[in-house]
Structure 1
């Protein structure tokens, strides 16, 4: 799995960071999400899929391999 993140679409809701804190974080200054690991291991795939699903801006795109 590879994560593609469309930063301009991010509305800083923080859902991704709450669901998958090992993979996503938020910048302190504006709350926009940051991808900590764009190729998470298999143990993270479930929570990354959930993070993408709950993103209100649909800014997280997953490339399944």
Structure 2
């Protein structure tokens, strides 16, 4: 699984961080998504999938 985030689309809602804090964070300066792991392990699959689904701006994309 590979993750891409589009910081231009991000609105800083932080839902991805709540769903998968080991994979996502928010930048301290602008509050936008910061990707901590672009290829997380299988143990993060459910959390990352939830983050993609609940992102209000569609800034999180998962690729197999």
Whether TM-score is above 0.5 comes out as yes
Q: Given the two structures, how large is their TM-score scaled by the length of structure 1?
A: 0.95
* Cα offsets for 1:26-65 (capped at 9, x unmatched): 011111010000100000011000000000000111101x
Instruction: Give the gaps of 5 or more residues in structure 2.
Output: none
Aligned length: 64
Instruction: Give the gaps of 5 or more residues in structure 1.
Output: none
Following TM superposition, where does structure 1 have runs of at least 4 consecutive aligned residues deviating by more than 6 angstroms? none
Point out the structure with the larger helix share: 1
Q: Given the two structures, how large is their TM-score scaled by the length of structure 2?
A: 0.97
